[in-house]
């Protein structure tokens, strides 16, 4: 696995990492089109369409010498699972639509998705990460709400939202997140295929 320009914060040899299900371009564009009516609402800071994903575990700032062991162990664990479909539909906000902080698109929980999440957690424990105590609530983060703003019309948008899409999960991506003035930029460091015997390195988010 090679290091690229800007991969790590200068001087501390670390990167902000997370593990996720990455989406193909067409699905990202479907999500963008479905959420277009809400993009004019005041107070929402929308994420970049090309970086939409389903987070499995946020690791935070992690020493770069742990990147390869993480990718190796996750790859070993998830290759025992078969690819499976997920469904994306509905949406809402955390903590509530009436008092939103994060706006999201829903992902229907399934036994296969829960098994993938638990497998990733076990792999991380194998390489020294503590268990995550929060309950897994699968979703796709869309936008963040600016401080002290309650976007008028958000509840009505979700009441009217008619979105239903499917995606076959066939890999877990190890991604690096760089915080920039216009928002986070994600870079794929490795792809860990389900049902496969090796880890594919990659650079696309």
71-86 in b/e burial notation, b at 16+ Cβ within 10 A? bbbbbebbbebeebeb
Both tokens of 181, joined, read 């003035």
Q: How far is CA 155 from the centre of its chain?
A: 24
- Judge whether 167 counts as a catalytic residue: no
- The per-residue DSSP string of 77-112 comes to HHTTSPPEEEEEEEEEEEE-SSSEEEEEEEE---HH
- Check if the beta carbon of residue 163 is closer than 8 Å to that of residue 91: yes
* Residue of 117, 139, 167, 186 marked catalytic: 139
Choosing from 53, 117, 167, 186, the catalytic residue is 53
> Is 53 among the catalytic positions?
yes
Q: Are 104 and 55 in contact (CB under 8 A)?
A: no
C-alpha to C-alpha distance for 14 and 201, rounded to whole angstroms = 19
Active site residues: 53, 139
């Amino acid at each position: 696995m090679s290091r690229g320009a800007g991969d790590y914060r200068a001087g501390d040899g670390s990167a902000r990492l997370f593990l996720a299900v990455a989406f193909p371009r067409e699905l990202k564009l479907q999500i963008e089109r479905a959420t277009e009516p809400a993009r004019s609402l005041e107070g929402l800071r929308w994420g970049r369409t090309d970086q939409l994903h389903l987070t499995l575990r946020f690791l935070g700032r992690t020493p770069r010498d742990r990147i390869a062991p993480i990718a190796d162990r996750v790859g070993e664990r998830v290759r025992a699972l078969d690819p499976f479909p997920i469904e994306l539909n509905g949406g809402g906000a955390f903590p509530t639509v009436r008092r939103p902080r994060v706006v999201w698109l829903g992902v229907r929980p399934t036994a296969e998705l829960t098994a993938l999440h638990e497998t990733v957690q076990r792999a991380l424990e194998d390489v020294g990460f503590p268990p995550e105590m929060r309950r897994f609530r699968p979703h796709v983060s869309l936008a963040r709400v600016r401080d002290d703003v309650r976007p008028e019309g958000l509840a009505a948008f979700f009441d009217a939202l008619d979105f239903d899409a499917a995606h076959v999960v066939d890999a877990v991506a190890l991604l690096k997140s760089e915080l920039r003035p216009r928002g986070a930029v994600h870079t794929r460091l490795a792809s860990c295929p389900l049902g496969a015997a090796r880890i594919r390195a990659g650079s696309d988010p």
